[in-house]
């Protein structure tokens, strides 16, 4: 692929880890039903694969978030573009996210969802770009710790494309540097 500098996580590597995460989540929740809250759009591929490996009953809901400011960096000033359909009051909510970068998006979302009084609120992210973190986020399930590079594929986009690529790759710098 011309825009890829290198493949970071192959399809097989991702699928293996997603299966392990599903098993870990299943063990932790036991018979408790889980409300999976997917953050659009990046979390979509991960949600659908992860859910196949979760044994306790699950429901899906979706929340759309848009951050103001620079396109390649989270500003922390976010707004909800599509809200959850159902109330999460008294439910065990597991947020499913593709990547945590600065943590600013999730800080906003955690505060927002806490106010709706769920029975519990946990976070599952496929990718964790820890070295870029600006605020501390309590992450319960992490697929992979990843380096601070422009990552694309498996939910992550470059100009809205490549979300459907089954692997994660590093974008060549010439595509995003001036």
Active site members = 101
Closer Cβ to ligand PRP, 29 or 97, answer by number? 97
Sequence-distant (6+) residues with CB within 8 A of 116 are 87, 88, 89
Number of residues that bind ligand PRP (CB under 6 A): 16
Q: At what angle do helices 44-51 and 11-29 cross, to 10 degrees?
A: 60
Does 41 help bind ligand PRP (rule: CB under 6 A)? yes
Stretch that binds ligand PRP, among 19-27, 48-56, 83-91, 98-106 (CB under 6 A): 98-106
Does 105 help bind ligand PRP (rule: CB under 6 A)? yes
Contact assessment for residue 53 and residue 38, using Cβ atoms and an 8 Å cutoff = no
Does 48 help bind ligand PRP (rule: CB under 6 A)? no
Which H/E stretch holds residue 22? helix 11-29
Does 100 help bind ligand PRP (rule: CB under 6 A)? yes
Does 165 help bind ligand PRP (rule: CB under 6 A)? no
Does 123 help bind ligand PRP (rule: CB under 6 A)? no
Distance from C-alpha of 103 to C-alpha of 116, rounded to nearest angstrom: 20
Closer Cβ to ligand PRP, 25 or 38, answer by number? 38
Does 102 help bind ligand PRP (rule: CB under 6 A)? yes
Question: For 10-148, where are the E strands, in sequence order?
Answer: 34-40, 58-67, 78-82, 92-100, 120-128, 141-145
Closer Cβ to ligand PRP, 25 or 44, answer by number? 44
Cis peptide bond N-terminal to 41, omega within 30: yes
Angle among Cα 113, 129, 147 to the nearest 5 degrees reads 170
- Residue choice 14, 49, 74, 169 for contact with ligand PRP (CB under 6 A): 74
Does 39 help bind ligand PRP (rule: CB under 6 A)? yes
- Binding residues (CB under 6 A) for ligand PRP: these are 39-42, 67, 74, 97-105, 157
């Amino acid at each position: 692929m011309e825009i890829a500098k290198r493949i970071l996580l192959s399809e097989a590597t991702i699928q293996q880890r997603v299966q392990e995460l599903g098993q870990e989540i299943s063990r932790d929740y036991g018979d408790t039903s889980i409300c999976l809250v997917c953050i659009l759009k990046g979390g979509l591929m991960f949600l659908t694969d992860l859910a196949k490996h979760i044994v306790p009953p699950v429901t899906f809901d979706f929340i759309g978030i848009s951050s103001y400011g620079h396109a390649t960096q989270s500003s922390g000033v976010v707004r909800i573009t599509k809200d959850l359909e159902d109330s999460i009051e008294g439910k065990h909510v597991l947020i499913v996210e593709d990547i945590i970068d600065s943590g600013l998006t999730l800080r906003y979302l955690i505060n927002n969802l806490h106010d709706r009084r769920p029975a519990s609120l946990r976070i599952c992210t496929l990718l964790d770009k820890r070295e870029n973190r600006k605020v501390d986020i309590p992450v319960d399930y992490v697929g992979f710790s990843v380096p601070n590079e422009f990552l694309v594929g498996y939910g992550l986009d470059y100009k809205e494309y490549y979300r459907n690529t089954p692997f994660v790759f590093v974008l060549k710098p010439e595509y995003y540097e001036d």
